[in-house]
Amino acid sequence: MDSDHTSHGLTTSRRLADRKTAKFQKNITKRGSVPETTVKKGNDYPVGPLVLGFFIFVVIGSSLFQIIRTATSGGMA
């Protein structure tokens, strides 16, 4: 019973190894072709639109705040 169990485990790992090997071999045949997702990612922003909007809001808002503060203090800030 014990030897039967180990041979079953060996079969399972062998099947997994064969599956990985097949996947690897398939990758080798596709070498050089760039997947669409990578190409498409180049046109998109690396950060989300919400983060980008928040960043722009902070930059423009702080500069406007600085201009208003400088104008109200008589230009001597």
Residue 69 lies in a domain: yes
Same domain, 50 and 69: yes
Q: CA-CA distance, 62 to 57, in Å (whole number)? A: 8
Residue 23 lies in a domain: yes
Query: What's the pTM value of the predicted model, to 2 decimals?
Result: 0.36
Domain that holds residue 27: 1-33
Q: CA-CA distance, 18 to 10, in Å (whole number)? A: 12
Q: CA-CA distance, 45 to 48, in Å (whole number)? A: 7
- Structurally, how many domains does the chain consist of? 2
Same domain, 22 and 51: no
Residue 72 lies in a domain: yes
How does residue 4 score in pLDDT terms, banded at 50, 70 and 90? very low
Residue 49 lies in a domain: yes
Same domain, 6 and 27: yes
Q: CA-CA distance, 39 to 33, in Å (whole number)? A: 11
Per-residue pLDDT tens over the stretch 8-23: 555 788 888 888 888 7
